[in-house]
Chains A and B, each alone.
Chain A
Amino acid sequence: MTAASYLTEQRGLRSWLFTLDHKRIGVMYLWSTLLAFFLGGVLAMLIRLELLTPTRTLMDADTYNKVFTLHGAVMIFLFIIPSIPAALGNFVLPLLLGARDVAFPRLNLASYYLYVLGALMALASMVTGGIDTGWTFYTPYSTSTGGAVNLVTLAVFVLGFSSIFTGVNFIATTHKLRAPGMSWFRMPLFVWGMYATAIIQILATPVLGITVLLLFLERVFGVGIFDPKLGGDPVLFQHFFWFYSHPAVYIMILPGMAIISEVIPVFSRRPIFGYRAIAFSSVAIAGVSFLVWGHHMFVSGQSVLASALFSFLTFLVAIPSAVKVFNWVATMYKGSIWLQAPMIYAIMFLLLFAIGGLTGLFLGSLATDVHLHDTYFVVAHFHYVMMGGVFIAFLAGLHYWWPKMFGRMYSERWSRIAAALVFVGFNTTFLAQFVMGSRGMPRRYYNYLPEFQPLHVVSTVGSWILALGLVITAGYLLASLRKRPDAPPNPWGGMTLEWQTSSPPPTHNFETVPVVDRGPYDFPPLEAEEELAGRRA
C-alpha cells in the first residue's frame, strides 16, 4: 500500500517542530507528558524508599521536602492536567467530531510551546536551589522560604496559559467543527467530557495565574497580601489557591471519565446506558466544582458557617459521580464483554475510582475530616482518584487509541501481565496508606513514629510492584513501534468516526467529509445474538 499517514507524509525535525497538525501536536504532548510522568514516578519511588525506615534512610530532611514538592508539582502540572486533554484529546477530539483539525491550530502549537517553557522553568528549579513548599505553596511558609519559589510560581503561571489555550480550542472546535449531522446528542461522550473540562480550564485557571502572580509580587517586591508580617492574610491564599485547585481536580478526572465512557460501550458492544445522564452529569460536576473549594479548609480557621456550606455542596458532587458509575456498570449488562487491555483498564478504573470516591465521603463530612485532614488518609484518597482514576483511565485511553495513533498493535499478553502488576502494586501501596492515615500518621513527614513502620514497608514494597508493572507497559508499547504497521482501521469495532479512517490517519484525517446519521454507540442490533447463533452452529 500505503497512503501517507500523518506520521510519514512529512519527515524531519522541522516538520514536527512547526507542525500545525493536531495529531502531531498531540503526539508531542504525549511524549512530553510521559517524560514528566517518568520523572514524577522516579521521585515517588525516592519518597517511598526514604520512608522505608522511621528516620533517615537515604536523604536528609531538606532533600526529602524538595523531592515530595517536585513529585506533586510535576505530576499535577506537567502530567495529569495536560495528559488526557492535551495529548489524547488533541489527537482524537477532531477525529471524533469528523473535523479536519482543531479550530485554532496555531494556538494549539503555542499551547505546546508554553507547556515546554513552563516545564523547563519548573525543572530548572532543581538546579537553582529546589523548592520545598509542597505543591500547594501555602503562605507564609512559601513567602519566607528560600530556593527557587519565584521560578516555579512563574512556571505555574505559564503552564496555566498552556491549559487555557487548549480549553479555548476545544470549546470552539466542539461548537463550530462538528461533521454534518452530528448534533450535540450524537457527540461521543469523550467530547462532552472534554467540553466540560474546557469550561473549567478557561474559568478557573486565570485565578491560579493571578494567585501565583500575587505570591510572586509579595516575594519579590514585598507587597503585603498573604504574609501577616506585611499585613496580609495567609488564609486568603488558601481560598485563592483552592478556588482553582479544586476545580482543577475535575480538570483531571472529567477527561478520565470521558475515556471510560468511550471504552465501556465499545468493549461491551452495547449503547451506553443513560447517554444524557452521563453528558449532563459532566456539565453538572463542572458547575458544582466551583463551589466546593472550602472543603480543603475545614480546620484552617474559616468560619463554621462556611465549612457547613462547603461540606453540603461537596456532597452534591457525589451524586453525578455515583450516577456515572452506575451507568457504566449498567452498560455491561447483557453486553458481549471483550476483555482486551482497554477494557481491563476501564474495569480497573471502576473499582479504584469507587474506592477513591467513597473515601471522599469521609473527608467531605465535617467531623471525620477534622481527624483525617492532612494525614495519609488524604494522600491515599487522592491517589485513588488521581492515579487509580485518572492515570488508569489514561492507560485505558492510551491502549484504546494506540493503534490509531501509531498504526501498531501491542502485545495483549504482556498488557495483561502488566495490568495485573499495576492493580496489585497500586492497592498494596495505597490501601496501607488509608490505614496509617486513619490511625494518625500525618502527611509530609520525613521522620515518623516507629509504630507506623510495618505499614510503610508494605506501601514501599507495593510501589516496587507498581513500578515493575509500568516498566513492562512502557516496554511492550515501545516494542510495538519497532514493528511494521499492522493495525487495521478499526481493531475494536468502534462506531465513532476516528475508526472510519485509516490507522494512522492521513494528515487531513478523512478522505471524504463524514456524514453522521446515528448516535456514537449504535452498534448493529442483535449482533450479540448473531454471535451467539454463530457459536452454536
Chain B
Amino acid sequence: VNTSGLSSKLAINKYNLDEDHPHIIVNEEICRAVCEDLACLNVCPAGVYSEQNGKIIIDWAGCLECATCQVACPSEALHWVYPRGGFGVIYRYG
C-alpha cells in the first residue's frame, strides 16, 4: 500500500494527540479466529490499520474519527470509541 500521499494529506490536519490513551483497541484473537477479509486495512481513509507479521498494527494518532472501521469490521473485533473530550482531530474548516 502506498500511503506516502496519505501521510502528506494527514500532515496538514490539526490534531490534539492524547498520548498513551489509544481510543482503538483490536482483539487479535477474534481477528485471527474469524476475520478473513481484514476490511480495516483498506477501508480506513487515514490508513490507521496495517498488518505486520500477522498482527494488526493501529496508528491511531492520524484517526479522522469517522468510525467507518467500526461499522466495517465484520468480526466486531474492534473496540472503537471517540478519543477523550478535547482530543483527537480538530477540523479547522470542516
Q: Do A and B come from one complex?
A: no
